[in-house]
């Protein structure tokens, strides 16, 4: 057997960010900072590197942001200092730009017509070029993230229009990539989703106040009511808790929500563009079971995102569902892995097998994806040490063959195990008895209830936005952005 080594974190995909915004109605008395804090808690799975909140009090913007989880950055005192009738919040994971406090969001900007704050979830395909062109004309940037490029473009467009929402619409014709953003400008809270709809964004009501969030689970956390998704290319303006206008960017294109929201990123209790994440994950498991004829005694899921697909598999196959792996929920991003030995132990520290459940059994183990293949070999060995007589791995997504240019931290093609190996070779490398991936056709069936189109380029190579050479260079690390 050839073995894979590595750490847990290196073999999982990462989402770039989560955003939230609230425009308070004069009829409500919520603390916008407190509501944002709670909502960011619910969105913490989308980014754990930094957290931030910006509030607007009579047009004066106040921001607190730092590296760290939401409860590490905010306490009662800091939240009390954030007063106002509007707020936006952000949790961040960095994909290609530097992971440092300076890149934390929201970003506050003062310009000739006033001030604004912006929080953005996404990555621009042409971000490096836009930045470079702006720098050639004298622009100075303080961060390395694309949000500052968007902020610069907005301020420049705002010089030619009295309306910030018109400036947003203008930049959407040439800012290419995946983004959902919330902006505080004057008395307005503006929410916008890129014309392809790569990143989710939805609108709700908290009392009479308007709220926006990357995922609907944030609304549940604060007791808000889901109203609808922001449409791809849509710009919604809320003012004093009322929606005052909505417009579409003129550049219409086929919508392309990132399918990985359903495979892995989003929380199962979220509903995105008409589809329940939990339902879709169970469907993935169901379709896996429908094409399978392996004999098993127990179906288990790899926590957390493999659990729902395992349940769907179990229901369809009529094989009992069990808890075979237990996750340590208290291991955070602070887990130090200085040495190779620590890195190799990280999976065992994060996951442990329940011997009483798997001993002597033919285990069907369901996980959401295999990226480099560095983690699954460890999980399989944990199960075998716990006494599993056979381990059959089922993956609730098709093989990863291509990189992502839209904000998901997928490695280079040569580092993707499925890009370089057959299914049989991978099975041997991770030491499973059999290995099966979700068929692309079944992924389509499971996603058929989605109101909009979706992107599956990391499986198919069909990229919805043309990839520029700058993006290629940026992904290769040849351009610092
Ligand atoms: S390439 Fe993959 S990860 Fe990137 S947006 Fe498309 S589906 Fe999502």
At 329, the pLDDT band (50, 70, 90 cuts) reads confident
Cβ 20 under 6 angstroms from ligand 1:
no
Label residue 199 by pLDDT band (50, 70, 90): very high
Q: Between β-strands 234-239 and 242-248, what pairing exists: parallel, antiparallel or unpaired?
A: antiparallel
Q: Which residue has a Cα nearest atom 8 of ligand 1?
A: 258
Please choose, from the candidates 193, 199, 215, the residue with its C-alpha nearest in 3D space to the C-alpha of residue 270.
215
**Any atom of ligand 1 within 6 Å of the Cβ of 438:** no
Dump pLDDT digits (tens) for 126-182.
999 999 999 999 999 999 889 999 999 999 999 999 999 999 999 999 998 899 999
pLDDT (0 to 100) of residue 218:
98
> For position 345, what pLDDT does the model report?
66
Segment 6-65, tens digit of pLDDT: 334 456 666 569 999 999 999 999 999 999 999 999 999 999 889 999 999 988 999 999
The C-alpha atoms of residue 201 and residue 39 are separated, in whole angstroms, by 13
Confirm or reject: Cβ of 458 under 6 Å from ligand 1: yes
Kindly report the protein residue whose alpha carbon is nearest to atom 2 of ligand 1.
458
User: In this predicted structure, what is the pLDDT of residue 2?
Assistant: 35
Q: Is residue 376 lining ligand 1, measured as CB closer than 6 Å?
A: no
Whole-angstrom distance, CA of residue 37 vs CA of residue 372 = 35
Q: How far is the CA of 199 from the centre of ligand 1 (A)?
A: 10
Spatial separation of the C-alpha atoms in residues 302 and 248, rounded to whole Å: 41
Rounded to the nearest angstrom, the distance between the alpha carbon of 176 and the centre of ligand 1 is 15
Q: Which atom of ligand 1 is nearest to the CA of 410?
A: 3
pLDDT computed for residue 424 by the predictor: 97
Ligand 1 within 6 A of CB of 109: no
Count the Cβ atoms, other than its own, within 10 Å of residue 75: 10
Question: What residues does CATH 3.60.20.10 cover in the chain?
Answer: 17-256
Distance CA 196, CA 208 (A): 30
Q: What is the reported pLDDT for 8?
A: 45
CA–centroid distance, 72 to ligand 1, in Å, is 30
Confidence of residue 118 (pLDDT cuts 50, 70, 90): very high
**How much distance in Å is there from the Cα of 249 to the middle of ligand 1?**
22
Q: How many Å apart are CA 396 and CA 195, to the nearest integer? A: 28
What is the average pLDDT score of the chain? 89
Our mutation pick for probing the ligand 1 site, out of 15, 265, 399, 456, counting the most ligand atoms within 8 A of Cβ, is 456
Per-residue pLDDT at 479: 28
Closest to 313 in 3D by CA, of 286, 284, 281 = 286
More confident residue, 372 or 310: 310
Atom nearest to 402 CA in ligand 1: 1
- Architecture in CATH of 17-256: 4-Layer Sandwich (3.60)
- Does ligand 1 have an atom closer than 6 angstroms to the CB of 457? yes
pLDDT score of 38 = 98
Answer whether residue 378 shows pLDDT above 50: yes
Give the pLDDT of residue 246.
Answer: 79
Q: Where in the chain is the domain with CATH 3.40.50.2020?
A: 271-460
Q: pLDDT tens for residues 253-292?
A: 578 999 999 999 999 999 999 999 999 999 999 999 999 9
CB 446 near ligand 1, within 6 Å: no
Question: Would the CA dihedral through 398, 404, 410, 411 be positive or negative?
Answer: positive
pLDDT at 60: 94
Alpha helices, DSSP H only, in 47-191? 70-73, 76-80, 127-136, 146-158, 164-171
Closest atom of ligand 1 to CA, residue 456: 7
User: Which comes out higher in pLDDT, residue 204 or 337?
Assistant: 204
User: Is the CB of 258 inside a 6 Å radius of any atom of ligand 1?
Assistant: yes
Supply the pTM of this predicted model: 0.91
User: Which pLDDT does position 222 carry in this prediction?
Assistant: 98
Q: Is the pLDDT of residue 335 over 60?
A: no
Q: Residue 241's pLDDT is what?
A: 87
**pLDDT > 90: what percent of the chain?**
74
Centre of ligand 1 to C-alpha 117, Å, is 28
How many Å apart are CA 297 and CA 324, to the nearest integer?
12
Confidence of residue 95 (pLDDT cuts 50, 70, 90): low
What pLDDT digit, counting tens, does each position of 177-197 carry? 899 999 999 999 999 999 999
Fold of 271-460: Rossmann fold (3.40.50)
Q: Which atom of ligand 1 is nearest to the CA of 405?
A: 4
What are 325-330's contacts with CB under 8 Å, separation 24+? Answer: 325/300, 325/301, 325/351, 325/352, 325/353, 325/354, 325/365, 325/379, 325/382, 325/383, 326/351, 326/352, 326/353, 326/354, 327/303, 327/351, 328/352
The answer to whether residue 92 scores a pLDDT higher than 80 is yes
Q: Whose CA is nearest to atom 5 of ligand 1?
A: 258
Query: Residue 476: what pLDDT?
Result: 42
Whether the CB-CB separation of 367 and 395 falls below 8 Å is answered with yes
Q: Which residues are catalytic?
A: 17
Closest approach atom of ligand 1 to CA 408: 3
Confidence at residue 99, expressed as pLDDT on a 0 to 100 scale? 59
Do 218 and 136 touch, CB atoms closer than 8 A?
no
Mutation pick for ligand 1 pocket among 180, 199, 258, 412 (CB with most ligand atoms within 8 Å): 258
* 125: confidence class by pLDDT, cuts 50, 70, 90: confident
Cα 416 to averaged position of ligand 1 atoms, centre (Å): 14
Q: With a 6 A CB cut-off, is 447 part of the ligand 1 pocket? A: no
- At 408 the pLDDT is 74
Q: How far apart are CA 352 and CA 347, in angstroms?
A: 8
Residue of 94 and 49 predicted with greater confidence:
49
pLDDT band at 340 (very low <50, low <70, confident <90, very high): low
Residues 60-76 have a mean pLDDT of: 95
Average pLDDT over residues 433-458: 96
Cα(256) to ligand 1 centroid in Å equals: 9
């Amino acid at each position: 057997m050839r073995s894979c080594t590595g750490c847990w974190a290196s073999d999982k995909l990462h989402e770039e960010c989560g955003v939230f915004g609230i425009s308070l109605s004069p009829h409500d008395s919520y603390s916008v900072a407190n509501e944002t804090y709670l909502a960011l808690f619910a969105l913490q799975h989308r980014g754990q590197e930094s957290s931030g909140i910006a509030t607007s009090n009579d047009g004066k913007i106040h921001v607190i942001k730092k590296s760290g989880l939401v409860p590490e950055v905010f306490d009662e005192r800091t939240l009390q200092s954030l007063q106002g009738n509007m707020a936006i919040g952000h949790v961040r994971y960095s994909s290609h730009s530097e992971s440092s406090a300076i890149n934390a969001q929201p970003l506050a900007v003062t310009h000739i017509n006033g001030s604004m704050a912006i929080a953005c979830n996404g990555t621009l395909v042409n971000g490096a070029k836009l930045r470079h062109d702006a720098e050639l004309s004298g622009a100075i940037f303080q961060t390395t993230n694309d949000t500052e490029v968007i902020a610069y473009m907005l301020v420049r467009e705002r010089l030619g229009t009295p309306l910030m929402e018109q400036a947003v619409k203008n930049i959407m014709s040439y800012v290419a990539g995946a983004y959902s953003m919330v902006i505080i400008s004057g008395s307005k809270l503006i929410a916008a989703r890129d014309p392809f709809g790569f990143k989710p964004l939805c609108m709700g009501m908290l009392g009479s106040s308007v709220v926006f969030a990357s995922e609907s689970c944030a609304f549940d956390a604060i007791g808000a009511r889901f109203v609808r998704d922001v449409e791809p290319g849509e710009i919604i303006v809320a003012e004093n808790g009322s929606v005052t206008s909505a417009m579409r960017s003129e550049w219409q294109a086929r919508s392309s929500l990132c399918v990985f929201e359903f495979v892995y990123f989003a929380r199962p209790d979220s509903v995105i563009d008409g589809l329940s994440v939990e339902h879709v994950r169970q469907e993935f498991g169901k379709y896996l079971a429908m094409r399978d004829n392996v004999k098993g005694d127990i179906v288990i899921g790899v926590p957390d995102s493999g659990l729902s697909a395992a349940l769907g598999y179990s229901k369809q196959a009529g094989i009992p569902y069990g808890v075979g792996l237990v996750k340590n929920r208290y291991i955070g991003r602070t887990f130090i892995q200085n040495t190779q030995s620590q890195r190799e132990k990280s999976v065992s520290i994060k996951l442990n097998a329940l011997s009483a459940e798997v001993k002597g059994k033919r285990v069907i183990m369901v996980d959401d994806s295999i990226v480099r293949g560095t983690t699954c070999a460890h999980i399989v060995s944990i199960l075998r040490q716990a006494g599993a007589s056979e381990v059959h791995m089922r993956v609730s997504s098709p093989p990863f063959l291509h990189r992502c240019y839209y904000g998901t931290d997928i490695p280079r093609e040569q580092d993707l195990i499925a890009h370089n190996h057959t299914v049989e070779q991978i099975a041997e490398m991770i030491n499973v008895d059999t290995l099966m991936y979700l068929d692309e056709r079944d992924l389509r069936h499971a996603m058929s209830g989605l109101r909009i189109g979706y992107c599956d380029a990391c499986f198919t190579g069909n990229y919805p936005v043309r990839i520029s050479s700058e993006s290629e260079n940026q992904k290769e690390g040849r351009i610092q952005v």
